[in-house]
Amino acid sequence: MNDKAKQLTLYSRAECHLCDQAEAMVMPIIQHGQWHLVKVDIDSDPDLLEKYGFSIPVLLRDDTGQSLNWPFPPSRVKALIES
Q: How far is CA 43 from CA 12, 14, 71, in A?
A: 8, 8, 20
Greatest Cα-to-Cα distance within the chain, rounded to the nearest angstrom: 34
| CATH topology for the 6-82 domain | Glutaredoxin (3.40.30)
Taking alpha carbons only, the member of 42, 44, 45, 75 closest to residue 58 is: 42
- In the chain, what are the domain boundaries? 6-82
Q: Are 74 and 46 in contact (CB under 8 A)?
A: no
Q: Which of 46, 37, 49 is nearest to 81 (CA)?
A: 37
pLDDT, tens only, 16-70: 999 999 999 999 999 988 999 999 999 999 999 999 999 999 999 999 999 999 9
pTM for the predicted model, two decimal places = 0.92
